[in-house]
Chain A
Amino acid sequence: MDIQYVAPRTLDEAVRAFAAAAGAGRILAGGTDLLVQMRNGVVAPGTIVDIKKIGELTSIEETKDGGFRVGAAVSGAVLREHAKLSKVWPGVVEATNLIGSTQVQGRATPGGNLCNGSPAGDSVPAMVAAGAIVTIQGPNGRREMPVEKVPKGPGRLNLEPGEIVVSFTLPPRGKGSSDAYLRMIPRTEMDIAVVGCGVSLTMDGGTCTAARVGLGAVAPTVLLVEEAAKALIGSKLDDAALAKAAAACSAACRPIDDKRGTIAYRTKVAGVLLKRTTLIAAERAGGK
């Protein structure tokens, strides 16, 4: 069959084209996963639907309540250049900016990172920690879901056929709030996370009053670790609270053994990263 390329200007057209292509359709955002997979013969799309000509998918807007709506097809480079977003959500921006090289940054998108379905995607744990809500549009209209509900397993998503991820909505932030993301890789650049950890928290007079923790690369999907957040909330982020939260992260791990890291290593590093990431987020939030 002839392979088609379409670059619709509206989301409705994109949804129609994607649905019409049925199983043979592929969304193209930055292409940094898709083109590699096409080249390796892992996927052979019948129709490629390029979503980068659609305004809603390629823009960053402040919402009325002071949050942000980030289009799914905004590149990492554009995210980083958004001064206000970088200030309010530094963890989300730094996580997205760990994806690949400068060249990859010019193209790679948070929507593609999520929809590729890798448990090691760097922006995903930060989005999970941030409490991002994903807007999805498909043949049956629009719906929203928390970002952590989107992945189903490696390469598999809880999306219906024909659905496209439109945007990530980041909530407004109160005083004393910030976030951070750290990953462990065997090299300093250009590698896949052995563990990734995103922490978002609020500090009030030295006490942590709200927290969310996202963990990547340690289970079939990125995890929201509520037990770790519970251990942080109400504490002064003292050693005992950090140790308890770290233990919760290690306990949540169901990792694989591979050349990048063994099960024991990943499980231990998950806890170590939780401590370090929490302290960075707290520092950004105005200190302990």
Chain B
Amino acid sequence: MAKLHVSTTINGEPQEFLCDADQSMLDVLRGPLGLTGAKEGCGTGDCGACTITLNGRIVCSCLMLAAEAEGQQIGTIEGMAGEELHPLQQKFLESAALQCGICTPGVLMAAKALLEKNPDPTEHEVRFWLAGNLCRCTGYDKIIRAVMDTAADMRAAR
């Protein structure tokens, strides 16, 4: 099968890859590109473990064709930490907001997008924003609290 050639930007770096027309972005990230942070929980848009950003908006990479990345800006969990962990990552560690960690990259990507849009969300807003991120371990409370606490820290640091 003839492969498509795609030029895109991932975490700010230019990136090129070959893919099949029906291959998902998640497959290409985890396969040829070796970016295994995004996880496949369901492959059908329900769990959010595969969350990435496409031009700044969170999307399920399992429901995006790799070919659609042509000319677009992609962000993955691998781009979240700089020299230091992102405040959300640090807080998740400190407050045990993860157990097995499968949902965590997706939750972090989604939570970061929320705080960029809304630095002072209510608990209700956090829960609805993260409704597409399923977690089988934590029972959600620790996740929600970690996001609220990070938001407060980040506001105080401004």
Contact = CB atoms under 8 A, between A and B. Distances in A.
B153 interface: no
B129 A102 contact: yes
Contacts of B70: 7
Nearest to A52: B68
B20 interface: yes
Contacts of A30: 63
A38 B133 CA distance: 22
Interface stretch (A103-111, A209-217, A260-268): A103-111
B111 to A, nearest CB: 11
A176 interface: no
B4 A32 contact: no
Interface in B39-66: 43-46, 48, 51, 54, 57-60, 62-65
B107 to A, nearest CB: 11
Given A3-B1, A48-B21, A35 B65 contact: yes
Interface residues of A, number: 29
Contacts of B76: none
B59 A48 contact: no
A36 B58 contact: no
A233 interface: no
12 contacts: A3-B1, A30-B63, A31-B65, A35-B24, A35-B45, A48-B22, A48-B65, A102-B113, A102-B129, A103-B132, A104-B45, A106-B58
For B4, B21, B24, the residue with the greatest tally of chain A CB atoms inside 10 Å of its CB is B21
B48 A107 contact: no
Given A103-B58, A104-B132, A36 B22 contact: no
B21 A100 contact: no
Interface residues of B, number: 34
Given A30-B63, A36-B44, A104-B132, 11 more contacts: A5-B65, A35-B63, A39-B44, A52-B68, A101-B48, A101-B133, A102-B110, A103-B51, A103-B59, A107-B64, A190-B132
Interface of B: 1-2, 4, 20-22, 24, 43-46, 48, 51, 54, 57-60, 62-65, 67-68, 70, 110, 113-114, 128-133
Given A3-B22, A4-B21, A103 B45 contact: yes
Contact of B20 (A3, A50, A104, A107): A3
Interface string A1-42: 011110100000000000000000000101110011011100
Contacts of A2: 1-2, 21
Contacts of A75: 57
Given A7-B70, A48-B65, A189-B128, A103 B22 contact: no
Nearest to A35: B63
